């Protein structure tokens, strides 16, 4: 399996999703580098079936896809393209599940094996079954909306397959404001939907979640369940790595605030032991810290309303000059030059539209 990281952030997302995004954008081979900007991925890696990418890389690809797309409905259309067959063993499990409730439970349990960018929580009572959707990365508003639309359509399509009809009783609550193309939602979503809600969620009457799937296959369901559990157990083993523990600890505190000594203490070891374990995983405290800070800095610079000084403060740099020096070491250009590239790319896309 080709991993695109070096023991830093877990790479578990199949590159097949990115290829589907490229197809939805109708890109040619020569255009693929534009889709992979700022990810360190190559076209050759993208075309390999065994290439796995990180959540941060996937989030950047989604941002790039928005910049390249000429359709406001791109997120909705992408959801239609991501049929169960695109989700590997988890998709096989979905199609053979006994009912919609089992499908939601499968998504909640096994989604980390396919799309670590998204986390689901399912809550059921006698009247309603509610699915809460969380995104595990700091995303731009545009990417957040795109993912929200895509997830809602995937759910709607899966529910229709399982129940055997459009799920008009579903209530979808979007946390983003109503976009200009909100009238198009009715072409993709059978239920009712609301905007500017506190949390992205999908609510379905529980009695509908228990309707038997006419296509259910018990033996296939058990086989797919075993395969998904095997993949999940392998992933959990990876998450016991020291690198994963360091990343989790760093993200639990204000960015850039946790020193190497404090981090080692939080993991109940001394600084030398922590350094030795990270060396065995081909990384270090500084490499992990720089990667997290650089990813956040890049994300913030996509928002023109946030000044470079404010970004420096958000990343716990008390002197913006120190932040600028660090940023140039990460990306080879100053924060202002990086932002100008983003703006220039967006202006070029606007002209093409």
Query: Does 2 have pLDDT greater than 60?
Result: no
pLDDT at position 178: 96
| 28: alpha, beta or left? (left if phi > 0; alpha if psi -120 to 50) | beta
How is residue 99 annotated by DSSP? S
**Max mean pLDDT range (6-10, 138-142, 180-184, 249-253):** 180-184
Per-residue CA distances from 9 to 140, 248, 326 (Å)? 20, 10, 20
pTM over 0.75: no
Residue 281 scores a pLDDT above 90: no
User: Residues 113-146: pLDDT tens digits?
Assistant: 888 889 999 999 999 999 999 998 889 999 999 9
More confident residue, 67 or 242: 67
Q: How far is CA 172 from the centre of its chain?
A: 20
Helices (H), 239-331: 242-250, 260-266, 271-280, 285-301, 308-314, 320-331
Please provide the average confidence, as pLDDT, over all residues in the chain: 89
The reported pLDDT for the residue numbered 5 is: 46
Of 68-72, 82-86, 323-327, which range is least confident? 82-86
Average pLDDT over residues 5-34: 85
Residue 210 is predicted with a pLDDT of 95
Could you give the 3-state DSSP secondary structure of residue 201?
strand
Q: What residue ranges in the chain does DSSP mark as E strands? A: 2-3, 11-14, 51-54, 118-124, 128-135, 171-173, 192-194, 201-205
- Alpha helices, DSSP H only, in 181-255? 206-209, 218-238, 242-250
> Mind listing the pLDDT tens digit for each residue in 144-192?
999 999 999 999 999 999 999 999 999 999 999 999 999 999 999 999 9
């Amino acid at each position: 399996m080709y991993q695109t990281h070096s023991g830093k952030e877990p790479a578990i997302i199949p590159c097949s999703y990115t290829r589907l995004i490229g197809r939805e954008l109708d890109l040619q081979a020569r255009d693929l580098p534009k889709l992979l900007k700022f990810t360190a991925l190559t076209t050759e890696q993208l075309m390999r079936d065994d290439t796995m990418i990180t959540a941060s890389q996937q989030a950047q690809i989604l941002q790039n896809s928005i910049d390249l797309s000429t359709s406001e409905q791109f997120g909705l259309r992408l959801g239609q393209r991501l049929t169960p067959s695109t989700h590997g063993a988890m998709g096989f499990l979905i199609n053979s599940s006994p009912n919609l409730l089992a499908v939601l439970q499968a998504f909640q349990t096994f989604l980390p094996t396919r799309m670590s960018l998204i986390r689901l929580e399912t809550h059921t009572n006698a009247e309603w079954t509610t699915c809460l959707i969380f995104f595990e990365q700091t995303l731009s508003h545009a990417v957040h909306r795109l993912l929200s639309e895509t997830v809602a359509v995937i759910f709607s399509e899966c529910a229709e397959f399982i129940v055997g009809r459009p799920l008009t009783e579903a209530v979808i609550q979007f946390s983003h404001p109503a976009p200009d193309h909100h009238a198009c939602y009715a072409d993709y979503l059978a239920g009712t939907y609301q905007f500017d809600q506190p949390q992205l969620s999908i609510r379905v009457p529980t009695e509908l979640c228990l309707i038997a799937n006419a296509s259910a296959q018990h033996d296939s369901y058990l086989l797919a369940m075993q395969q998904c559990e095997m993949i999940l157990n392998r992933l959990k083993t990876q998450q016991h790595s020291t690198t994963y523990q360091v990343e989790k600890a760093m993200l639990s505190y204000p960015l850039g605030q946790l020193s190497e000594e404090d981090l080692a203490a939080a993991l109940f070891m001394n600084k030398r032991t922590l350094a030795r374990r990270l060396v065995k995983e081909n990384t270090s405290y500084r490499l992990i810290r720089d990667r997290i800070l650089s990813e956040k800095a890049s994300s913030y610079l996509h928002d023109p309303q946030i000044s470079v000084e404010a970004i420096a403060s958000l990343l716990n740099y008390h002197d913006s000059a120190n932040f600028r020096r660090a940023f140039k070491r990460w990306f080879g250009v100053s924060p202002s030059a990086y932002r100008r590239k983003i703006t220039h790319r967006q202006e070029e896309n606007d002209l093409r539209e």
